[in-house]
Amino acid sequence: MDDTGPPTLADLAPAPFVPRAPWWGGDLQTMRNYLLRDRLPPGHETERLILPLGDGSGDQLAAALNRPVRLRPRAPLVILIHGLSGSEQSCNVQRSATSLLELGYPVLRLNLRGAGPSRPLSRYQYHAGRTADLDMALAALPRDILANGVAAVGFSLGGNMLLKFLGERGAAQPIRAAVSVSAPIDLAACARRMLRWRNFAYQAYLLRDMRIEALTSASELTAREKTALRETRSIWDFDHNFTAPRNGFAGAEDYYAKNGAQAFLDGIKVPTLVIHAQDDPWVPPGAYLGYDWKRNAAIVPLLPERGGHVGFHGSDRQASWHDVTIARFFDALFNRP
Tens digits of per-residue pLDDT, 143-186? 999 999 999 999 999 999 999 999 999 999 999 999 999 999 99
Q: What are the DSSP calls for 75-110, one per residue?
A: PPEEEEE--TT--TT-HHHHHHHHHHHHTT--EEEE
Give the per-residue pLDDT at 1.
Answer: 42
Cis check for the bond before 22: say yes or no (omega within 30 of 0).
yes
Does position 85 have pLDDT exceeding 60, yes or no? yes
Q: Report CA-CA distances (Å) from 17 to 14, 170, 180.
A: 8, 31, 17
Does position 321 have pLDDT exceeding 90, yes or no? yes
Q: Which residues pair with 151 in a beta bridge?
A: 78, 177
Tens-digit pLDDT profile for residues 256-274:
999 999 999 999 999 999 9
Give the per-residue pLDDT at 42.
Answer: 66
Which of helix, strand or coil describes residue 181? strand
Q: Which CATH superfamily is domain 9-185+261-334 in?
A: Alpha/Beta hydrolase fold, catalytic domain (3.40.50.1820)
Does position 335 have pLDDT exceeding 80, yes or no? no
Average pLDDT value for residue range 4-28: 84
**CATH code 3.40.50.1820 region(s) in the chain:** 9-185+261-334
Provide the 10 A C-beta neighbour count for residue 214.
22
Give residue 318's Cα distance to chain centre.
21
Contact between residue 333 and residue 327 where contact means Cβ atoms under 8 Å apart: no
pLDDT band at residue 90 using 50, 70 and 90 as cut-offs: very high
Look at strands 150-155 and 77-81 and give their pairing.
parallel
Give the per-residue pLDDT at 245.
Answer: 96
Tens-digit pLDDT profile for residues 199-241:
999 999 999 999 999 988 667 789 999 999 999 999 999 999 9
Give the per-residue pLDDT at 2.
Answer: 47
The answer to whether the predicted template modeling score (pTM) of the entire model surpasses 0.85 is yes
Give the per-residue pLDDT at 154.
Answer: 98
Give the per-residue pLDDT at 316.
Answer: 82
Residues 223, 134, 30: CA angle, nearest 5 degrees: 80
Residues 262, 268, 272: CA angle, nearest 5 degrees: 95
